[in-house]
Chain A
Amino acid sequence: MKSFKNHFSLVIALVSILFSIQIFTIVDRTMDAYKENLANNYSIIIISQKKLQDKEIIDVNDLIKGVTELSADNVIERLNSGITEKNKELLKLTLPKFYKLTLTEYPSPKQIKKLRENLLKIKSITKIEDFSHNHDTTYKLLVLFKTVVFVFAIVVFVVTTLLIFKELRIWQFKHNERMSIMALFGAPIWLRSAVLFRLAIVDAIIAGVITFGLFVYISSEPLIIEQFENLSINITIFDVVNDAATLFSASITLSIILALMIVIGHKEEV
């Protein structure tokens, strides 16, 4: 029971940190997937007085993935159907050219502004429709959501770090006497701190295993999967190799830093 208590506080604090790291990773991954979805459905229309080569447009900005020329037929169909075929052909020749641009990623308002400036350098382009109002609202919502999650993760991180520091003080008190006695018999610092590091690493592994189990469960939970499907987002909620490696590394690094701080702060009691 005593041993369980010794480990419990640090393990819980570490699990909270690991949990917030993984949640932030999932949100980040979701945002990227969502932005990709948006980018696939988002396009810019440009109107040019003369025909342009695809390459000429693509070279303007790295953001442009593809160019599709829009047929003028649709426009003419909407006009009075009393126009003769000959006049329709004449009209086609005089109408400006419409192009739809697809982008490599969902752009920020700044990127759109830059893209606009670059496109307008082509003299024949007279109008650009970037649907900025709709775009801006969606983009700002995305950024807001990400910021909220980031702030939440930071708050969790700070609170749990404070908890860890409190735990550190208890550990320092507990281990100081043993470390001092060992020092009196000439134990090098690594030997004096060995127990401490072993405890820290064991706790880090326990915290890693708990978080791993938690996210393996969450990632296979039908309710969670369904929510992602509803958003048409297909992401790996928990990558059992890479995410697990990140979690275990973060957990072990934090614990080792904690143990190191105790060792550095150790004062010989005589």
Chain B
Amino acid sequence: MDKVILAQDLSLSYSNNETIINKANFSIDSGSFIFITGASGSGKSTLLKSLYGSLKAKQGSLIVGGVELRGVTTSKLNFLRRHIGIVFQDYKLVKEWTIEKNIMLPLIINGYEKGVTQNQVDSLLKHVRLKHQAGKYPLELSGGEQQRVAMARALAHNPILILADEPTGNLDDYSSQLIWNLLEGANEQLNTTVIVVTHNIPRNLNVDYKHYNIEYGSIHEVL
């Protein structure tokens, strides 16, 4: 099976030089569903940041989607990010854009035609049950609704990899279930690799998944 992520002796730290992840070795198969857990401050989000290239490895090698992220050029990083969908706990929606335009963002970046873009956005809005809210702005929606928009945006361009940082952390049951259904769907139907950082793994998941735990800077698979 192809490896979508390969980390060798990966060490991560912020500018204060405190090592968050220490010489981690792991690989993630293409099409797998992964949960990463760990206590607060253990380095879950830091690891996720390194996977989309916002935090450079201090040591070791990190290859995502065939791109070595250590010393990666801006254009290569942009190329990689165009094939990744990211969901943040704080949604990161563009406040001055409508819901529709926010979902369109990855499609515009990837140069999709206007017709294709509109069809895809309409379909996603239906999936996240926000068709009637298309013209609204993020701040006019509830947290759960905003996260559903962020989820739709992450899926819009059919990415090879979805990175989700506590996507249901602040959500009600209804929105949480909708998010999990969408992530499962992307994984099962489109063979998208899904990596979710979370405190709690949902019990009613219908996909096979792997579970990694971060503790004291090390990453271990929980069997």
Chain A residues with CB under 8 Å of chain B are 177-178, 181-189, 191, 268, 270
Complex Cα gap A268–B109 (Å): 17
Complex Cα gap A213–B119 (Å): 46
Judge whether B114 is part of the interface by a CB distance below 8 angstroms: no
A188 B49 Cβ-Cβ under 8 A: no
Chain B residues with CB under 8 Å of chain A are 49, 52, 54-55, 74-75, 77-84, 86, 92-97, 105-106, 108-110, 153
In the complex, the number of residue pairs spanning A and B with C-beta atoms less than 8 Å apart equals: 49
The answer, among B52, B55, B96, for a CB contact under 8 Å with A184, is B52
Complex Cα gap A185–B75 (Å): 12
Residues of A contacting B52 in the complex (Cβ-Cβ under 8 angstroms): 184
Given contacts A177-B94, A178-B96, contact A268 B81 (CB under 8 A): no
A185 B82 Cβ-Cβ under 8 A: yes
B105 A186 Cβ-Cβ under 8 A: no
Complex Cα gap A185–B102 (Å): 11
The answer, among B54, B84, B86, B109, for a CB contact under 8 Å with A187, is B109
Residues of B contacting A187 in the complex (Cβ-Cβ under 8 angstroms): 78, 105, 109
Given contacts A178-B94, A181-B94, A191-B109, contact A186 B82 (CB under 8 A): yes
B109 A182 Cβ-Cβ under 8 A: yes
Chain A at the B interface: mostly helix, strand, loop or mixed? helix
Complex Cα gap A184–B91 (Å): 12
Lowest 10 A-B CB distances belong to which pairs?
A186-B81, A186-B82, A186-B78, A270-B54, A187-B109, A185-B106, A178-B94, A181-B92, A185-B109, A181-B94
Complex Cα gap A41–B108 (Å): 69
Output the least CB separation between B12 and chain A (Å): 13
The answer, among B54, B80, B94, B153, for a CB contact under 8 Å with A186, is B80
Complex Cα gap A171–B78 (Å): 24
Complex Cα gap A152–B41 (Å): 58
